Amino acid sequence: MYAEKMRLDGRIAVVTGGGRGIGLAICEALAEHGAEVIIADIDPEIGARGQAALAEKGYRTSVHPLDVTKPAEVEALAAELVARHGRVDILVANAGIARSGVAAEDTEDERWLNVNDVNYNGVFWCNRAFGRHMLKAGRGAIVNIGSMSGIISNRPQKQTYYNAAKAAVHQLTSSLAAEWADRGVRVNAVAPTYIETEMTSYRHDNDGMIDVWLRDTPMHRMGKPDEIASVVHFLASDASSLMTGTTVVADAGFTCW
């Protein structure tokens, strides 16, 4: 019975920013458990490479270009996918950017607006568009990718704009869950620690910041994309049927200290 709850056979899943890194790992986890996965990525080439990697393993995926900062584009994709598949069962709002390293008092308007447009507004546009269709169907599971940075203030890097956007994602998750709980749609979030991806790899060579992160982490290591993907899979599956409005912290113990 419990293994069956983890299966996603016949379900349609959309993963934004799904072409690489955490997003691609999420796509693989969902596909491995039976879902048909739509890779929605702003960069068609990255999306295509991700799809090719999953196709080699025999998984059913497709790629759609998507800029999550454009509400009309998000609405159009949601409508197109529902028209084609009849529904969308799972949304993973994963697309995000970092751009850390600027003090609050030196933050340019463009940087603040850009980070919040992708990391917060984009999450809302996706939740709203796909959530509407899920509400009509009377069921659905949404997983938003937040960050432990929405709970703590990182050091030594300065990134007020990023932290604020991720904290907003956690609150958005809770608020939507409260509104939609009695209508069959669950909304949860994951707050990852530092993850080994292209977005963080340059730190090894540039400034040694990763050494500081590892020192401040009880497990003394970064996470891997598949470790976040497994949490997302759980939240997208019926195994988490009693959970909504929850932000699951997967941080190697970082927030313990």
**162 has catalytic annotation:** yes
Catalytic residue among 120, 162, 194, 202: 162
Query: How far is 11 from 85, CA to CA, in rounded Å?
Result: 10
CB 211 within 8 A of CB 203: no
Residue of 143, 161, 48, 50 lying closest to 100 (CA atoms): 161
Helices 71-85 and 122-137: angle between axes, nearest 10 degrees: 30
Strand partners, 93: 144
Instruction: Provide φ and ψ at 16, rounded to 5°.
Output: -80, 150
Strand partners, 36: 12
Query: How far is 35 from 32, CA to CA, in rounded Å?
Result: 7
Query: How far is 22 from 31, CA to CA, in rounded Å?
Result: 14
CB atoms within 10 A of CB 108: 10
Whose tokens are 């669950």? That residue is: 186
CB 46 within 8 A of CB 22: no
Q: Which residues are catalytic?
A: 162
